[in-house]
Amino acid sequence: MKALLLENIHADAVKALEARGYEVETRAGALADQELIAALDGVDYLGIRSRTHVTREVLAAAPQLRAVGAFCIGTNQIDLEAATEAGVAVFNAPYSNTRSVVELAIAEIITMARRLADKNRDMHAGVWDKSAQGAHEVRGRTLGIVGYGNIGSQLSVMAEALGMRVLFYDVVDKLALGNARRVDSLDELLAEAETISLHVDGRASNTNLFGPAEFAKMRPRSLFLNLCRGSVVDIDALHDALVSGHVAGAAIDVFPSEPKAKDEPFVSKLQGLPNVILTPHVGGSTLEAQVDIGRFVAGKLADYESWGSTSMSVNLPEVTAGPLQEARIVHLHHNVPGVLARLNSALANHNMNIGSQTLATKGHYGYAVTDISGERYDGLLAELEALDETIRVRVL
């Protein structure tokens, strides 16, 4: 099996895949559509981070591709609908860099509250301004978290340990941790919190979640952080709120448009503004997180290839499968009545004995993992591929 890993995925991912028998090619940067299509010739497994986009066109041009590993949290750079239709599994690392993002958020909250960026700039310019003007402790201040998933909830715990009062808003009813309090609306959060931190996903409904109206509703002289997705913030509106002084500081790690490589220039209206921290999408970029992400996603890809396990797949029905006993059929199909009966009938036609069978469904798709034993394997794969419901089938 051949794997292609892009965007400087950690070397531990390479080692993990090679240890499972893969031939691994690595490339430092992201690839655009046509470059990616050319690079995928003969590739069975693709590993990317956030800058490479796996489109419907790319998937159509690589019918041999079995899975895509997103070595990051987000998967909005992958056309998940097209991947599922093509029978391509998608895996990500939803937990591996949680701590790294939270630590950066905490560091930036303190940096802005103490105006450390301004002090640092002045000191480098030879200005000794030993003043407490505009500098505050974070203890006792109110943090408003928008999105209470893995990152938002852990930020809640760490902020509370610093003595902050925590409010959160999420469209899904989430259990509050510690003394955090859930509010019923975004407007309620903006009216109470002195620091706002965004931790939502990149779905279309979150595009420009924060625009002129939302910034206007924030408390005067509040702080603002976005370490989730660049598309959720109207940068022009944030710029205006900072210039007017209504927002006292901002820390932005993600942007609507980001360079695809290090040698491309970065340009933003936020450059040069005081008490604004700009970082190049490094929320999860710690060595510890990258090691864990590399090992985790590489393991998911290898388990899918060797055992057919779709545990924690983003797009396929989830079946946890362990090592093989003798042989195994993994069958991704359209979720229609009677499909399992037709699958088993085909196995019976080849005198296959079923040792165990697990079926999971997700929307319009079903995934069956069947351990079998027998002697008439010739023609079995072709018969299963010929079923009208079959999307992709493998004999392991």
Q: Which residues are catalytic?
A: 229, 258, 281
**Burial, 342: exposed, middle or buried (Cβ in 10 Å; 0-12, 13-18, 19+)?**
middle
Cβ within 8 Å of residue 53, ≥6 positions away: 33, 77, 78
Q: Are 370 and 347 in contact (CB under 8 A)?
A: yes
Residue indicated by tokens 């031939």: 23
Q: How far apart, in whole angstroms, are the C-alpha atoms of residue 322 and residue 297?
A: 17
Reported in sequence order, the residue ranges of 141-279 that DSSP labels E, i.e. its strands, are 142-146, 165-169, 181-182, 195-198, 222-226, 247-252, 276-278
Angle at 348 (CA atoms; ends 342, 350), nearest 5 degrees: 115
Name the burial class of residue 12, with classes exposed (0-12), middle (13-18) and buried (19+) by CB atoms within 10 angstroms of its CB. Answer: middle
Distances (CA, A) of 316 to 60, 199, 363, 381: 18, 25, 10, 21
d(CA 184, CA 170): 8
Question: Could you tell me which residues come within 8 angstroms of residue 216 by beta carbon, excluding any fewer than 6 positions away?
Answer: 241, 246
Q: What tokens were used for 285?
A: 């970029």
- Shortest CA distance to 283 belongs to which of 150, 105, 157, 152? 105
